[in-house]
């Protein structure tokens, strides 16, 4: 049985962060109702497609959901949304606080005592940035991540929407915790999971460094990740990601490269010393790894218990034999888009992968079906359809 079977989620989110959060809930078995504006989620139109409005990012971030199109500028559409939420367990939106207030879909407006109400704003509503707009790049810039990524040079972005996806994971875990609490108490929760605060705490985990103490006992920024020599290293025929970390791993590595004398060097004998002198050690890695091929190093380091992996392109990841063996990529026979392949939920439950879910919905595909389930009469549905409020 899916872990969240019987849980209904009303999803009023767009782009990456909110849809990824609710897709994870759908993957765990929740019935996720995606409420879209008449034009649909903007990511429907990103990338190549077989049919209009069914681009690859949308297909990846929204599978497992049902789609209802409601014009929330129409009072009848807004009333329909509120009625849907009244019968739901969870409501998720990434609208800015002012828009939530204008539409009247704040927790106080909905007044459902058992509802888990989760908003995903750019910035916490209690602070001076509360109603600023935000996207992934803006948050990477503001939370310190872009500066750390750029090292001693110009700031740079992680080349993935890492803020969107990290905040989505935080939000999904908060929603699950709230559902566990509700099962014990019957009480809903009001959750706010702001991007800025979430990514600030994410970045500061190791980068706060000496400023964990009051007063500070050292500078900010974790030296190991700040080292310009921390990078994939060139081998004889490619690149390798390798992390030599513990005392045992470094002693073994020094023997592998026939430099046992380095084990006695006080700079490298402890993790404290190695952290302070990490540039020298990473320079050593860069100097010795070109002597062998990537495959040779992987074999040697794996046997020695030292983590190492070839640098793979996205095409290589899709063809990786380990991922194929564990069945990460799930074939999807989509009812309108044909054959697709998507990653499954990367979690096993009782030793088995979660069951496949439906493909991403076409725009408004499930409108009448969802409204009927919510108790709307045929006459009300027909009136919403006739007025254009139900797309």
CATH of the domain at 359: 3.40.50.10540
Last residue of a domain, one of 260, 287, 310: 310
Name the token pair of 63. Answer: 């599978």
Is residue 172 situated within a structural domain? yes
Q: Are residues 68 and 183 in the same domain?
A: yes
Q: Are residues 94 and 187 in the same domain?
A: yes
| 114 touches 141 (CB < 8 A) | no
| 79 touches 86 (CB < 8 A) | no
Q: With 90 as the cut, is the pLDDT of residue 155 above it?
A: yes
Per-residue pLDDT tens for 220-247? 999 989 988 899 999 999 999 999 999 9
Is residue 327 situated within a structural domain? no
Q: Are residues 54 and 113 in the same domain?
A: yes
| 164 touches 17 (CB < 8 A) | yes
Q: Are residues 181 and 251 in the same domain?
A: no
Residues 155-169 have a mean pLDDT of 97
Per-residue pLDDT tens for 308-326? 999 999 999 999 999 999 9
Per-residue pLDDT tens for 84-103? 999 999 999 999 988 998 99
pLDDT confidence band for 213 (50 / 70 / 90): very high
Q: How distant, in Å, are the alpha carbons of 18, 19, 49 from that of 61?
A: 9, 6, 15
Q: Are residues 253 and 378 in the same domain?
A: no
Q: Pairing state of beta strands 8-12 and 90-93? A: parallel
Q: Are residues 283 and 347 in the same domain?
A: no
In b/e form, how buried is each residue of 141-174, taking b as 16+ CB within 10 angstroms?
ebbbbbbbbeeeeeeebeeebbbbbbbbbbbbeb
Is residue 140 situated within a structural domain? yes
Per-residue pLDDT tens for 337-387? 999 999 999 999 999 888 888 999 999 999 999 999 999 999 999 999 999
The more confident residue out of 162 and 107 is 162
Last residue of a domain, one of 310, 331, 360: 310
Q: Are residues 26 and 114 in the same domain?
A: yes
Q: Are residues 248 and 358 in the same domain?
A: no
pLDDT for position 74: 96
Compute the radius of gyration of the chain from its Cα atoms. 25
pLDDT for position 356: 86
Per-residue pLDDT tens for 51-78? 999 999 999 999 999 999 999 999 999 9
Q: With 90 as the cut, is the pLDDT of residue 4 above it?
A: yes
Q: Are residues 124 and 262 in the same domain?
A: no
> Domains in the chain: how many in total?
2
Q: Are residues 159 and 22 in the same domain?
A: yes
Could you list the residue range(s) of the whole structural domain that residue 243 is in?
Answer: 233-310
Q: Pairing state of beta strands 239-242 and 233-234? A: antiparallel
Is residue 134 situated within a structural domain? yes
Q: How distant, in Å, are the alpha carbons of 59, 185, 345, 360 from that of 337?
A: 9, 43, 21, 10
Phi, psi for 88 (deg, rounded to 5): -105, 165
Q: With 70 as the cut, is the pLDDT of residue 270 above it?
A: yes
Q: Are residues 195 and 256 in the same domain?
A: no
Q: With 70 as the cut, is the pLDDT of residue 111 above it?
A: no
Is residue 334 situated within a structural domain? no
Domain CATH number, residue 279: 3.30.1540.10
Q: How distant, in Å, are the alpha carbons of 239, 242, 294, 315 from that of 311?
A: 6, 10, 9, 12
| pLDDT-above-70 percentage for the chain | 99
Average pLDDT value for the chain: 95
Q: Are residues 27 and 112 in the same domain?
A: yes
| pLDDT-above-90 percentage for the chain | 89
The more confident residue out of 106 and 80 is 80
The span from the CA of 82 to the CA of 110, in Å, is 7
Is residue 298 situated within a structural domain? yes
Per-residue pLDDT tens for 34-57? 999 999 999 999 999 999 999 999
Is residue 186 situated within a structural domain? yes
């Amino acid at each position: 049985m899916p872990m969240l079977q019987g849980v209904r989620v009303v999803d009023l989110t767009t782009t990456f962060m909110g849809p990824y959060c609710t897709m994870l809930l759908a993957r765990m078995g929740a019935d996720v109702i995606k409420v879209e504006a008449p034009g649909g989620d903007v990511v429907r139109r990103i990338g190549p497609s077989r049919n209009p409005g069914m681009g690859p990012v949308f297909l990846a971030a929204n599978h497992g959901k049902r789609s209802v199109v409601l014009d929330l500028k129409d009072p009848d559409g807004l009333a329909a949304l509120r009625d849907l939420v009244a019968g739901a367990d969870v409501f998720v939106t990434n609208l800015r606080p002012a828009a939530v207030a204008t539409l009247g879909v704040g927790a106080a407006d909905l007044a459902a005592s058992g509802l888990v109400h989760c908003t995903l704003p750019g910035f916490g509503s209690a602070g001076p940035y509360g109603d600023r707009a935000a996207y992934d790049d803006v948050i990477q810039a503001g939370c310190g991540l872009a500066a750390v990524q750029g090292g001693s040079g110009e700031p740079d972005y992680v080349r993935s929407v890492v803020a969107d996806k990290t905040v989505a994971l935080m939000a999904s875990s908060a929603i699950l915790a709230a559902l566990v609490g509700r099962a014990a108490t019957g009480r809903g929760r009001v959750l706010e999971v702001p991007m800025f605060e979430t990514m600030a705490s994410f970045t500061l985990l190791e980068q706060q460094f000496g400023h964990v103490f009051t007063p500070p006992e050292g500078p900010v920024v974790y030296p190991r990740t700040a080292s310009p020599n921390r990078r994939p290293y060139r081998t004889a025929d490619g690149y390798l990601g390798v992390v030599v970390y513990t005392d045992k791993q470094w002693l073994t590595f020094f023997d592998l490269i026939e430099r046992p004398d380095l084990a006695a060097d006080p700079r490298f004998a402890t993790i404290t010393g190695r952290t302070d002198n990490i540039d020298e050690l990473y320079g050593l890695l860069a100097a010795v790894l070109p002597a062998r091929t990537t495959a040779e190093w992987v074999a040697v380091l794996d046997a020695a218990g030292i983590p190492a992996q070839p640098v793979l392109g996205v095409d290589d990841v899709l063809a990786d034999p380990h991922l194929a063996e564990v069945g990460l990529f799930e074939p999807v026979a989509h009812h309108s888009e044909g054959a697709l392949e998507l990653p499954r939920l990367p979690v096993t439950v009782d030793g088995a992968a979660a069951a496949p879910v439906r493909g991403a919905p076409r725009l408004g595909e499930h409108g009448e079906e969802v409204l009927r389930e919510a108790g709307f009469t045929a006459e009300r549905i027909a009136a919403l359809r006739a007025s254009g409020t139900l797309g």
